[in-house]
Structure 1
Amino acid sequence: MIELREVHKHFGANRVLQGVNLTVASGSSMVIIGGSGTGKSVLLKCILGLVRHDSGAITLDGQDVTAGDRDAFLSRFGMLFQGGALFDSLRVWENVAFRLVRGARPLPKAQAREVAVEKLRRVGLKPEVADLYPAELSGGMQKRVGLARAIAAEPEIIFFDEPTTGLDPIMAGVINELIREIVTEMGATAMTITHDMTSVRAIADNVAMLHGGVIRWTGPVSELDRTPDAYVQQFIHGRAEGPIESVR
Structure 2
Amino acid sequence: MITLASVTKSFGTNNVLRGVDLTIASGKSMVIIGGSGTGKSVLLKCILGLVEHDTGTIALDGQDVRRAERDAFLARFGMLFQGGALFDSLRVWENVAFRLMRGTTKRPKAEAREIAVEKLRRVGLGSQVADLYPGELSGGMQKRVGLARAIAAEPEIIFFDEPTTGLDPIMAGVINDLIREIVVEMGATAMTITHDMSSVRAIADDVAMLHEGTIKWTGPVSQMDSCADPCVQQFIHGRANGPINAIR
Q: Provide TM-score, normalisation by structure 2.
A: 0.99
Q: Which residue of 2 aligns with 1:3?
A: 3
Q: Structure 1, residues 137-179: CA drift from partner, whole Å, max 9, x if none?
A: 0000000000000000000000000000000000000000000
How far apart, CA to CA, are the structure 2 residues paired with 1:106 and 1:24? 30
Q: Which amino acid aligns with 1:49?
A: G
Q: Which residue of 2 aligns with 1:125?
A: 125
Q: Which residue of 1 aligns with 2:163?
A: 163
Q: Which residue of 2 aligns with 1:108?
A: 108
Pairing 1:51-200 to 2, within 5 Å after superposition: 51-200=51-200
Q: Structure 1, residues 3-47: CA drift from partner, whole Å, max 9, x if none?
A: 000000000000000000000000000000000000000000000
The structural deviation recorded for 1:68 is 2.6
Aligned partner of residue 131 in structure 1, secondary structure:
coil
Q: Provide TM-score, normalisation by structure 1.
A: 0.99
How far apart, CA to CA, are the structure 2 residues paired with 1:85 and 1:58? 26
How far apart, CA to CA, are the structure 2 residues paired with 1:172 and 1:246? 25
How far apart, CA to CA, are the structure 1 residues paired with 2:104 and 2:51? 23
How far apart, CA to CA, are the structure 2 residues paired with 1:183 and 1:192? 11
The structural deviation recorded for 1:104 is 1.1
Q: Structure 1, residues 102-154: CA drift from partner, whole Å, max 9, x if none?
A: 01121000000000000000000000100000000000000000000000000
Identity %: 80
How far apart, CA to CA, are the structure 2 residues paired with 1:32 and 1:26? 16
How far apart, CA to CA, are the structure 1 residues paired with 2:186 and 2:68? 25
How far apart, CA to CA, are the structure 2 residues paired with 1:186 and 1:230? 36
Query: Where do 5+ consecutive residues of structure 1 fail to align?
Result: none
Between Structure 1 and Structure 2, how many residues are aligned? Answer: 248
Q: Which residue of 2 aligns with 1:245?
A: 245
Q: Which amino acid aligns with 2:85?
A: A
Pairing 1:34-49 to 2, within 5 Å after superposition: 34-49=34-49
CA RMSD, 1 decimal: 0.5
Q: Which residue of 2 aligns with 1:204?
A: 204
